[in-house]
């Protein structure tokens, strides 16, 4: 009889532990499910039907929806011409480590002024040893090599330099051929519009004209982008502060800032206590009940 009672107690304890484990597993699964649903809800974005190219413009590669316009498209697009001037986008990068970062920046500015270049973007971040300056320069293609050579002569330690080229001649020729095709189609549609004798035909031609003009504007925008990128090259200059000559001013004592940080830390500590209390109630109470029940059964079995 005594052995049977002990077996019953051990069985009850095992079942209680299994039940507690299942309760813990279900709680974890529910918490992860809620977190996943919240993440998916915040990351959804609206999708658009328009294609956008890498520079933020609407892609001109849109096929005409109407069969009548397809028949009017010119079949023989312009063939590549070996004598056509190449369209090349050139980009340069150069980095320095300077003892006097402000003086080096002035030297770079002098080179920019010498070639009449423009600064399209610049940033000055950090203080002391962590200070970094970045300058993106836009210069005429004909002055690219000379300006890069002058920048390499700046009195500072050169860390790196590189030049990259991208030949977009075929892309430009393809866009020009498409533009010519759409412009010819536009002329044909205008002639058809003049000869239209009823409202239905006029409206259909008007719809076709709008689609063709939309594509023409998209291609012209793309061609302007390529023309700008090939006529002007970019040079990115990066200047970092070296350890030599670095002066880091002593940070001022801000008692009110310290007080705010202390209050914020106190609030976080209070949140932590409340969270602990919630977890303790959810998981501690069942554990306590199991322990009490086990002690009670053991004492009863001994009697």
- Residue ending a domain, among 205, 231, 257, is 231
Residue range of the domain that includes 105: 88-167+235-241
Q: For residue 89, give Cα distances in angstroms to 69, 92, 215, 227.
A: 35, 10, 24, 9
- What phi-psi label fits residue 283: left (phi over 0), alpha (psi between -120 and 50 degrees) or beta? alpha
Question: Who's near 172: CB < 8 A, 6+ residues apart?
Answer: 87, 223, 226
71 and 179 in a common domain:
yes
Whether the per-residue pLDDT at 286 is higher than 70: the answer is yes
Q: Is the pLDDT of residue 58 over 50?
A: no
Distance of CA 103 to CAs 48, 108, 241, Å? 49, 9, 11
Model pLDDT for residues 136-145, shown as the tens digit of each residue: 999 998 899 9
**Residue 25 resides in a domain:** no
Asked if residue 137 and residue 148 are part of one domain, the reply reads: yes
The closest of 274, 301, 275 to 7, measured between CA atoms, is: 301
Higher pLDDT, 286 or 182: 182
Say whether 138 sits in a helix, a strand or coil: strand
What confidence tier does 135 reach under pLDDT thresholds 50, 70, 90?
Answer: very high
Q: Domain count for the chain, please give it.
A: 2
Residue 178: the pLDDT is 94
Domain end among 186, 208, 231: 231
Same domain, 76 and 206: yes
Task: Report the distance separating Cα 223 and Cα 175, nearest Å.
Answer: 7
Q: What mean pLDDT do residues 155-174 have?
A: 90
In the structure, what pLDDT confidence band is assigned to residue 292 with cuts at 50, 70 and 90?
Answer: confident
| pLDDT, position 5 | 61
Angle of CA points 185, 186, 189, to nearest 5°: 85
| pLDDT surpassing 70 at residue 68 | no
Q: Do 208 and 98 lie in a common domain?
A: no
pLDDT band at 223 (very low <50, low <70, confident <90, very high): very high
Chosen domain end from 241, 271, 294: 241
- pLDDT value at residue 8: 65
Q: What is the mean pLDDT of residues 73-85?
A: 48
Say whether pTM exceeds 0.85. no
Mean pLDDT confidence for 151-172: 90
pLDDT score of 49 more than 80: no
What residue spans of the chain are helical by DSSP H? 2-43, 67-72, 101-114, 144-152, 169-195, 199-231, 255-279, 285-302
| Residue 196 located in a structural domain | yes
**Residue ranges in 118-168 assigned as alpha helix (H):** 144-152
Mean pLDDT over 13-35 rounds to: 67
Q: Is there a domain that residue 270 lies in?
A: no
Average pLDDT over residues 95-117: 92
The reply to whether 74 falls in a domain is yes
Give how far Cα 57 sits from Cα of 117, 139, 167, 219, 230, Å.
26, 23, 20, 9, 17
The residue whose two tokens read 């209390």 is 277
Which of 14-18, 172-176, 242-246, 299-303 holds the top average pLDDT?
172-176
Higher pLDDT, 47 or 137: 137
Q: Is the pLDDT of residue 216 over 50?
A: yes
Average of pLDDT values for 98-110?
Answer: 91
Per-residue pLDDT, 59: 36
pLDDT, one tens digit per residue, over 234-244 is: 999 999 988 76
**Is residue 111 domain-shared with residue 159, that is, in the same domain?**
yes
In this predicted structure, the answer to whether residue 56 has a pLDDT above a threshold of 80 is no
Indicate if 106 and 138 belong to the same structural domain. Answer: yes
């Amino acid at each position: 009889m005594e052995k049977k009672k002990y077996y019953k107690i051990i069985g009850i304890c095992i079942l209680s532990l299994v039940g507690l484990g299942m309760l813990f597993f279900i709680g974890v699964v529910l918490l992860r499910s809620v977190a996943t649903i919240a993440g998916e809800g915040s990351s959804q974005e609206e999708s658009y039907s328009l294609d956008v190219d890498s520079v933020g413009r609407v892609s001109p590669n849109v096929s005409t929806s109407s069969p009548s316009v397809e028949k009017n498209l010119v079949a023989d697009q312009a063939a590549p011409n070996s004598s056509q001037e190449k369209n090349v986008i050139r980009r340069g990068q150069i980095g320095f480590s300077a003892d006097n970062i402000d003086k080096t920046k002035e030297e770079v500015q002098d080179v920019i002024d010498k070639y009449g270049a423009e600064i399209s973007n610049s940033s000055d971040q950090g203080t002391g040893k962590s200070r970094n300056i970045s300058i993106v320069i836009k210069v005429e293609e004909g002055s690219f090599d000379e300006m890069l050579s002058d920048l390499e002569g700046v009195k500072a330690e050169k860390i790196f330099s590189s030049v990259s080229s991208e030949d977009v001649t075929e892309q430009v020729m393809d866009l020009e051929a498409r533009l010519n095709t759409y412009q010819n189609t536009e002329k044909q549609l205008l002639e058809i519009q003049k000869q239209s004798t009823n409202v239905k035909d006029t409206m259909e031609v008007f719809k076709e004209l709008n689609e063709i003009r939309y594509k023409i504007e998209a291609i012209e925008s793309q061609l302007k982008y390529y023309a700008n990128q090939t006529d002007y090259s970019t040079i990115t200059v990066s200047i970092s502060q070296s350890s030599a000559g670095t002066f880091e001013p002593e940070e001022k004592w801000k008692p009110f800032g310290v007080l705010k940080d202390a209050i914020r830390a106190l609030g976080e500590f209070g949140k932590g206590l409340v969270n602990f209390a919630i977890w303790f109630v959810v998981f501690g109470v069942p554990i306590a009940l199991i322990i009490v029940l086990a002690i009670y059964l053991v004492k009863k079995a001994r009697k």
